[in-house]
Structure 1
Amino acid sequence: MSFRWLKRYVPQGLQGRAALILVLPVTLLQLIVFVAFIQRHFEDVTRQMVRSVAYDLRFLTEEVRDAPNLTAAYRAISYIAPPLNLEPRLPADATPAEDQRRWYDFSGIVIIDSLNERLVGLEAVTLPDDRDANIWVETPWGDMMIEFDRRRISASNPHQLIVIMIFFGVILTAVAYIYMRNQLRPITRMAAAAAEFGKGRIVRYQPSGAREVRQAGRAFLEMRNRIERQTQSRTMMLSGVSHDLRTPLTRMRLALSMLDDDEAALLRKDVDEMQHLLDAFLDFARNDAEDDTEEVDPVALVGGLVEDARRTGGDVELVREETRPLARLRPVAVRRAVSNLIGNALRYGSRVRVTLSVSERMLRVVVEDDGPGIPEARREEATRPFTRLDPARNQDRGSGVGLGLAIVADVARSHGGALRLGDSAELGGLRAEFSIAV
């Protein structure tokens, strides 16, 4: 039997589930105690109290029935009823057709059943409220109504016990929840630090809490430190590669500029191509850790890139949806990613639409073009490094090394987001959605 449907009603957060684990057993325990003990107590005590009053009622009705005439019956009532705290009326005005009680008066069911078992000639029982009880019994002089105090046959509600149960249940649950929340707080802090690290942000985190939580926290710090050392080593290596390769390329370009023949022109083209390849490799492998997060106007950032594309002759349209003035992000990396998307769209299409949307938690940039697009089966492959999809994208319209979309996907992942490729419903080409957490 599957219980997956229960997941919809279970809290998603750790603290919510901990509270449910604490509150549910306490509530169930109190309910079981109430039903199994208090309800049985009500029923047993009520039957005993009805049995005691039934002796008085039976004695009175038997004396009235044994009286030789109505006057003797009245005399018996006047002698017996006052000491027993009973108020008879003979004959009764009207006898109800059936027993009566309030629908929620469950102890009244026990009272009516017990009276019918112990009183001969009982016609009807009415329990209008918690103070009065009325019965009608058959006599030779007509039906007699007897009124008496309801509290003589009903067990009083044990309010004190119920209040104590609820009060101490709430107190103990609150104390347990506070203790549990203090135990869960280190896990929450570690999850927040991991989420920020996934967005490319380093926040201060100190392991605390239970032994297992501290072990997990120290493991997270060690992992984060290893990743930082690896990225720093990569940065140092690439800085050296950049310096060592750019210098000879510059000398080669300077030497070739002094030549005028066609062969030198071809060599200059090769040098420019090498420079382009080197820049692409460095853009892909560059560490963005030094690009600190800051409050940036996303409209100004994306709008500036669109204006730059228009100045080069591109047909680029900017559409603003939900936006807010500032968003915390890493501007250099985001600018590089959006610039690559716009550049790719202009390379393979003639018309480009850029849609910007910034919510409280997410920045989304959608770039659409009217180019040939990318087949659905090869979209995942298109985001891999050094992948060139010749059948899908016209490579004659610009040189590339297959790193444009890979750089965008890497920037999105480092900011806790994703790059999603699809078809543009309006322009008919590629639809690239770049979304990051802010």
Structure 2
Amino acid sequence: MAGQPLSLLVKRFLPKSLLGRSLLIIVTPLVLLQIVSAIIFFETHWDKVTLRLAKSVAGDTAAVVTLMRRFPGPENHDWIFHTAAIHFEFKTTFKEGEILPNQPPAPDSLLEDMLTDSLKSFVNKPFRLDTTSLDKNVSIEVQLADGVLNIVTTRKRLFSSTTYVFVLWMVGTSLILFAVAMAFMRNQVKPIRRLADAADDFGKGRASEVFKLEGATEVRQAASAFAAMRDRIRRQIAQRTDMLSGVSHDLRTPLTRMKLQLEMLGSNDDTQAMKDDIGEMERMLEGYLAFARGEGGENPEITDLSSLLHDVSEQARRLNARIDLHTEGRIDMTLRPNSFRRCITNLIENAMRYAEHISIRAGVRDDAVEIVIDDDGPGIPEDQRDEVFRPFYRLEGSRNQGTGGVGLGMSIARDAVQGHGGEIKLEESPMGGLRVWIRLPL
């Protein structure tokens, strides 16, 4: 961690959401401003106010000492103490004959420090302070010639309430500003979240509701651009589907006529070869249609994936396929059932051409469903695993044109998986052949 750059360390602790980062941008200067204000307040205002209050108490104490010196005798103590109680808020007593300790305790707070300096300046006699024994009062003992003068005054005379007012005002305004900033930023982030949800729904092939263009100008521009892009993509998909459907329909008519004419000509080697060619053309047309329907207008619905995999596996078993299927209970998720059924069917049929044993596993992992299809066939070389997803791409060698289709099966499978917001990968199987790994978000 010591070798990491400072920027990486900062990024680790930064909020990940836009709302969190926006609030951090707003709150950080506010906190710094409050800290600077507090420092300035306590270094200037607090020291000055405390010193002035301490000088006031020290001056009143010096006045009482002066009166006792000018009017000595116990007979004058009562009116002097009464005057001090009325005008100075002093509770005064005199302990005749007592002597203070030679070593008074050292001041341990700002209040004691200020009051000590002030009493030294005004009274100029030995004294002792006690600011801790009494909760709401402060005790001052002054050594006089014939005894000790004890003065008890309220702590309010030495403490300014503006400190509490300042702190409460600072904290209160900060909380109010933070609440206003949070409410404002939430409203600014909502349109971005709606745009993200709409993009996620569109990427997963879900029918997203029409969202309003709201928020800041930049957010409106992004939402408008996304809506225009979504409409263009939908229009292009529809045009491609319609074009392939129209072409296949137009080609089926002459192919049907050719099949009828061949049937009327009877059966021989030449007509059989032509029938095989026509059959191959029909299979190619079916592949084109399946590829076009892969991104068609089928609506998603809640589907039992376990049941779907079971149906496809049973259909393959009727064609003498040896399939081991294991699903972790019932798995309900939003799918286009026909599109995903074609995807799994293509993958199983692809494995059936080249393998004897097929294993299918499906289960929920965190917030997604994982499907793993393994076979014991020859597999696919690692450098060609990405190429097989290209339309009309066919491998040479064991997976050749004679045993394969038109090269659209893997493309249809990938389009179906990505149309559900998932991902598909090809890996080496523990069974020795090919592993197809599919992950679909719940």
Q: Partners of 1:74 and 1:375 in 2: how far apart? A: 115
Mapped pair 1:29 → 2:36: no
Residue 197 of structure 1: aligned partner:
202
- Kindly provide the CA deviation profile for residues 233-291 of structure 1, in whole angstroms up to 9, marking residues without a partner as x: 11221111111223333444455556444444444333333333332233223352321
What root-mean-square deviation, in Å, do the aligned CA atoms of Structure 1 and Structure 2 show? Answer: 3.8
Question: Any unmatched runs of 5+ in structure 1?
Answer: 102-108
Q: Partners of 2:359 and 2:428 in 1: how far apart? A: 13
Aligned-partner SS, 2:385: helix
* Counterpart among 45, 52, 66 of residue 48 in structure 1: 52
* Counterpart among 304, 313, 317 of residue 311 in structure 2: 304
- Kindly provide the CA deviation profile for residues 50-103 of structure 1, in whole angstroms up to 9, marking residues without a partner as x: 222233456677999x99xxxx898998776662515567548989985586xx
Contact kept, 8 Å, 1:369 with 1:427, in 2: the verdict is: yes
Contact kept, 8 Å, 1:323 with 1:358, in 2: the verdict is: no
- Kindly provide the CA deviation profile for residues 374-404 of structure 1, in whole angstroms up to 9, marking residues without a partner as x: 343333223222333436x644893233322
Residue 138 of structure 2: aligned partner:
133
Mapped pair 1:269 → 2:276: yes
Residue 431 of structure 1: aligned partner:
435
* Counterpart among 153, 157, 160 of residue 155 in structure 1: 160
Residue 415 of structure 2: aligned partner:
410
* Counterpart among 13, 16, 19 of residue 20 in structure 2: 16
Q: Structure 1 length as normaliser, TM-score?
A: 0.80
Q: Partners of 1:359 and 1:30 in 2: how far apart? A: 48
Contact kept, 8 Å, 2:371 with 2:437, in 1: the verdict is: yes
Residue 123 of structure 2: aligned partner:
none
**1:142, CA displacement in angstroms?**
9.2
- Kindly provide the CA deviation profile for residues 100-136 of structure 1, in whole angstroms up to 9, marking residues without a partner as x: 86xxxxxxx2113223434455566543565133466
Aligned-partner SS, 1:3: helix
Residue 115 of structure 2: aligned partner:
115
Contact kept, 8 Å, 1:347 with 1:397, in 2: the verdict is: no
Q: Could you tell me which amino acid in structure 1 is paired with residue 313 of structure 2?
A: V
Residue 214 of structure 1: aligned partner:
220
Residue 386 of structure 1: aligned partner:
392
Q: Partners of 1:132 and 1:322 in 2: how far apart? A: 76
Residue 404 of structure 2: aligned partner:
399
User: Are residues 365 and 79 of structure 1, via their aligned partners in 2, closer, same or farther at CA, if it must alter by over 3 Å?
Assistant: same
Q: Partners of 1:273 and 1:141 in 2: how far apart? A: 129
Residue 106 of structure 1: aligned partner:
none
Q: Partners of 2:286 and 2:391 in 1: how far apart? A: 14
Q: How does 1:49-68 map to 2 (within 5 A)?
A: 49-57=53-61
Contact kept, 8 Å, 1:130 with 1:151, in 2: the verdict is: no
Q: Partners of 2:195 and 2:374 in 1: how far apart? A: 38
User: Are residues 9 and 86 of structure 1, via their aligned partners in 2, closer, same or farther at CA, if it must alter by over 3 Å?
Assistant: same
Q: Partners of 1:243 and 1:368 in 2: how far apart? A: 37
* Counterpart among 383, 391, 414 of residue 377 in structure 1: 383
Q: Structure 2 length as normaliser, TM-score?
A: 0.79
Contact kept, 8 Å, 2:107 with 2:113, in 1: the verdict is: no
Q: Partners of 1:362 and 1:302 in 2: how far apart? A: 17
Aligned-partner SS, 1:420: strand
**1:231, CA displacement in angstroms?**
1.6
User: Are residues 234 and 94 of structure 1, via their aligned partners in 2, closer, same or farther at CA, if it must alter by over 3 Å?
Assistant: same
Aligned-partner SS, 1:354: strand
